């Protein structure tokens, strides 16, 4: 009889997505309100347009390579919007009248045109699209998120691609923009054993592209950074102490009424917090713009 021990996975100490990790880094209170209090947020036309464009680009790759034209992408806008409305009927309430909706749908067109300036989809065969990637690190921290696109070359080299419908960030914010892609690169490295050759951000808002080549040492450092971040989240959770950290991003925050920095009051701390291993999780495959 074999006496070899069965290797069990480490106990899960927590789960983190790039969005929730970025929330905590930006403002611990924002993290709490989103991940622990689970406060609802109103869909914004800009964010939903990002989701729409992501959906169109995803569907575009369902077509045979030679048919992936700008006209084909434009033709996908209406059906993709109807599909979104079917899954989230409340989105229809964003528009006062049909003219407003038509103008909003029209605003997706330049973003799609920008995509075609940055890449030629007839020459690409993505390995994965809108793909859930996840890994349980040896520390017990689970990382997961949805990658817009993964390209794998015949040589096995991997490229991680993310679409942003916003404009490219100024230099000082580039590191922040890369945070999300490094997160995915780390997950892929730890699951596939391959360091992605390139991280590519396509900024459709101003037709710009940001690329980066990570290396193993850097990803190992990034892993320790995420573990330290989770330790900080765990300490804040234990102490129920999530402080507001005002910044320019407050202009877009929907939770000012719950934020002491703006004269608001957070809701009572939930008695039953969602599973302690999952408050950092963001499982929705929504455009992360």
Site residues for ligand SF4, 216-245, by CB under 6 A, read: 244-245
Distance of CA 102 to the CA centre of its chain: 27
User: Least distance in Å: CB of 176 to ligand SF4?
Assistant: 14
Question: In Å, how far are 42, 92, 157 from 84, measured between CA atoms?
Answer: 15, 10, 33
- For residues 29 and 202, which CB has a smaller minimum distance to ligand SF4 in the complex? 29
Collect all residues with Cβ–Cβ distance below 8 Å to 260 and sequence separation of at least 6: 29, 244, 266
Distance of CA 59 to the CA centre of its chain: 18
Contact 126, 150 (CB under 8 A): yes
User: Least distance in Å: CB of 28 to ligand SF4?
Assistant: 8
Does 253 sit near ligand SF4 (CB under 6 A)?
A: yes
How many Cα atoms sit within 13 Å of 121 on the Cβ side? 26
Does 255 sit near ligand SF4 (CB under 6 A)?
A: yes
Site residues for ligand SF4, 13-52, by CB under 6 A, read: 27, 29-30
User: Least distance in Å: CB of 289 to ligand SF4?
Assistant: 17
Torsion, Cα of 61, 66, 69, 72 (10° steps): -70
Among 120, 262, 275, 276, binds ligand SF4 (CB under 6 A): 262
Does 249 sit near ligand SF4 (CB under 6 A)?
A: yes
Does 213 sit near ligand SF4 (CB under 6 A)?
A: no
User: Least distance in Å: CB of 252 to ligand SF4?
Assistant: 8
- What is the tally of helices (H) and strands (E) in the chain? 8, 6
Which residues sit at the interface with ligand SF4, rule CB under 6 A? 27, 29-30, 244-246, 249-250, 253, 255-256, 259, 261-262
């Amino acid at each position: 009889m074999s006496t070899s021990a069965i290797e069990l996975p480490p106990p899960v100490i927590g789960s983190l997505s790039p969005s929730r990790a970025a929330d905590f880094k930006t403002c611990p209170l924002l993290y709490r309100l989103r991940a622990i209090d689970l406060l609802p947020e109103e869909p914004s036309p800009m964010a939903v347009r990002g989701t729409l464009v992501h959906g169109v680009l995803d569907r575009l790759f369902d077509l045979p390579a030679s048919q992936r034209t700008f006209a084909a992408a434009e033709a996908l806008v209406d059906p993709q919007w109807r599909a979104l409305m079917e899954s989230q009927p409340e989105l229809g309430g964003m528009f006062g009248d049909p003219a407003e909706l038509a103008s909003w749908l029209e605003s997706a067109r330049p973003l799609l045109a920008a995509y075609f300036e940055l890449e030629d989809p007839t020459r690409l065969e993505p390995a994965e699209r809108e793909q859930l990637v996840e890994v349980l690190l040896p520390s017990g921290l689970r990382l997961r998120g949805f990658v817009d696109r993964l390209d794998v070359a015949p040589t096995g080299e991997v490229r991680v691609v993310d679409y942003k419908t916003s404009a490219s960030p100024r230099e000082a914010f580039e590191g922040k923009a890369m945070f999300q892609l490094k997160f995915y690169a780390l997950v892929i490295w730890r699951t596939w054993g391959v360091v992605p050759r390139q991280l590519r951000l396509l900024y459709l808002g101003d037709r710009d592209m940001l690329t980066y080549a990570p290396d193993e040492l850097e990803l190992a450092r990034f892993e320790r950074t995420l573990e330290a971040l989770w330790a900080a989240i765990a300490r804040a959770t234990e102490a129920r102490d999530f402080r507001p950290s005002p910044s320019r991003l407050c202009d877009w925050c929907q939770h000012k009424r719950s934020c002491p920095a703006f004269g608001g009051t957070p809701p009572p701390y939930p008695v039953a917090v969602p599973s302690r291993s999952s408050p950092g999780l963001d499982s929705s495959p929504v455009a992360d713009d």
